Amino acid sequence: MINENLYALLQSHFPKDSNKPCLILPDGRIWTYADIERASGRIANLFAALDLVPGDRVAAQVEKTPEALLLYLACLRAGMVFLPMNPAYQRHEISYFLADARPGLFVCRPQMRGLADEMAKGVIKVLELNDDGRGSLIAAAAAHRDAHSVVARKGDDIASILYTSGTTGRPKGAMLSHRNLAANAKVLSAYWHFQPHDVLLHMLPTFHVHGLFVASHCVLMSGAAMLFEPNFNARRALDLLPRATVFMGVPTYYVRLIKEPGLTKALCARMRLFVSGSAPLLSETFEEFRTRTGHTILERYGMTEGGMFTSNPYAGERRGGTVGFPLPGTELRIVDDQGHPVADATVGNIEVRGENVFIGYWGMPEKTAEEFTDGWFKTGDMGSRNPDGYISIIGRSKDLIISGGLNVYPKEIEEIIDALPGVTESAVIGLPHPDFGEAVCAVVVKSKDEKGLALGAADIIGELKKQLANFKVPKQVFFATELPRNSMGKVQKNELRQKHASA
């Protein structure tokens, strides 16, 4: 029987010379493919010593380090289910994820240890991983052997769970199987022409699909190398681009790169590919980047529930304002609200199917069934197809806000604001922002009592900062006497966006 463990696939593409660089760090240190194999083997053996068994969840809320990536690879290798969390998450979010996913191990930063122990309640094991790559996780793993066979997994076994909040109700854990991730890894590395000599400038975070799966898998599937940076910094990117061949980023990165006078065609002479995703790229950014660098950014489209669905062509016309064509192995259709296909140039609901599409939401069979129609996944995005076949994303049928490439779900924020003393109700919207694409803003209706009269924008923002990651906290708070509603009582957020668009 073929082992469909994703790690087995990645491993089969590692270079024959295991001393070839895989990760190149800012301080000049290099992790070779041999290093990756040995270190992930030690962590995989540690899991067994902790009495974890294949299928157990391993949650991680850590900063981006080589060791954080190794933790993910060790989970694949040992048959665990990896659950990455944004380091910015606070008590409100972490407690929910731990209670819902019930991991056997939670790896956290030292500064979160007290809170982690409290939420683990003696049931979940807790280890630490410092921002410099040290900590009790690595110390404990050091006592174990390097060698660890790749645990046999079936294609539909879960490899990772990534939480993606809905606009209503509780966050949903998207279950991505080994087959889902393998399908996307194989297609993307081939479609974007990754080769062993490539060097990816990796400045994305590793707690979501773009940085953890799309970027890392393309490198590992080709035996290439990556300049592994802890975060995005425009000036640092300019220093490193001459050493790289590929760069992946969110639109915010490109906006900031354009602001750097040093971004020139000569600087990017060695580059072969710039990829953008996770949010729409403004046409002005697309055109100015091409003028400045001589490179046309390749836009693609995907989401947590299936990785990448479409891509502009590698060889061929990359059209600004579009996300190209469905990738090999992915079917995409655009339908009306009754599920009937719409004509070209007509806006409709985007639905997809393919081996890359997730297997469902953790512990939510009803929600899973609701999101599929005859095997087609309803993305919640709206788009159109032009006569040449290029797909354009028009908007979101749900109220998702994408700020700096990160998903923000209004309902989660609204529930916290609405619970504050002095608040009657609220509506959270996204407003255009030159750097982040969209800025999170809140419109609040205050109660007419003393608490309402005393409540200010700073009070609301201050309270939210205690409970939510900073990127979810509204940049501005507006006050209104009432929220606009339609005849069915639904808040008309489009009216709020129009009213405050110039704020």
pLDDT of 166 higher than 70: no
Q: What is the pTM of this model?
A: 0.84
- Calculate ∠ Cα 325-13-3, nearest 5°: 95
Banded model confidence at residue 165, pLDDT cuts 50, 70, 90: low
Kindly calculate the radius of gyration of the chain based on its CA atoms and give it in whole angstroms. 23
By percentage, how much of the chain surpasses pLDDT 70?
A: 97
- Cβ-proximal residues to 118 (8 Å cutoff; 6+ apart), any chain: none
Higher-pLDDT residue of 485, 157: 157
Task: State the pLDDT at residue 146.
Answer: 96
Please state, in angstroms and rounded to a whole number, the distance separating the CA atoms of residues 188 and 13: 14
Pairing of strands 158-164, 406-408: unpaired
Q: Is the dihedral of CA 394, 399, 400, 403 positive or negative?
A: positive
Task: State the pLDDT at residue 347.
Answer: 85
Q: Which domains does the chain have, with CATH numbers?
A: 1-11+34-153 (3.40.50.980), 179-398 (3.40.50.12780), 401-500 (3.30.300.30)
Please state, in angstroms and rounded to a whole number, the distance separating the CA atoms of residues 76 and 11: 11
Q: Is the dihedral of CA 179, 183, 184, 189 positive or negative?
A: positive
CB atoms within 10 A of CB 451: 13
**How deeply is 329 buried, as exposed, middle or buried, from its count of CB atoms within 10 A (0-12, 13-18, 19+)?**
middle
Higher-pLDDT residue of 486, 198: 198
| 484-492 mean pLDDT | 66
Q: Is the dihedral of CA 350, 351, 355, 359 positive or negative?
A: positive
Task: State the pLDDT at residue 488.
Answer: 42
Higher-pLDDT residue of 313, 450: 313
| 188-202 mean pLDDT | 98
| 348-369 mean pLDDT | 96
Q: Is the dihedral of CA 492, 478, 402, 115 positive or negative?
A: negative
Among 114-123, 136-145, 255-264, the range scoring the smallest mean pLDDT is: 114-123
Amino acid, single-letter form, for residue 132: D
pLDDT of 489 higher than 80: no
> What's the Cα-to-Cα distance from 171 to each of 164, 391, 419, rounded to whole Å?
6, 28, 18
**How deeply is 394 buried, as exposed, middle or buried, from its count of CB atoms within 10 A (0-12, 13-18, 19+)?**
middle
> What's the Cα-to-Cα distance from 15 to each of 22, 71, 183, 195, 446, rounded to whole Å?
10, 21, 20, 11, 62
Please state, in angstroms and rounded to a whole number, the distance separating the CA atoms of residues 439 and 462: 17
Banded model confidence at residue 167, pLDDT cuts 50, 70, 90: very low
Task: State the pLDDT at residue 282.
Answer: 79
Task: State the pLDDT at residue 265.
Answer: 97
Banded model confidence at residue 411, pLDDT cuts 50, 70, 90: confident
pLDDT of 394 higher than 60: yes
Amino acid, single-letter form, for residue 186: K
Please state, in angstroms and rounded to a whole number, the distance separating the CA atoms of residues 282 and 252: 10
Among 7-16, 223-232, 243-252, 407-416, the range scoring the smallest mean pLDDT is: 407-416
pLDDT digits (tens, 9 = 90+) for 221-244: 999 999 999 999 999 999 999 999
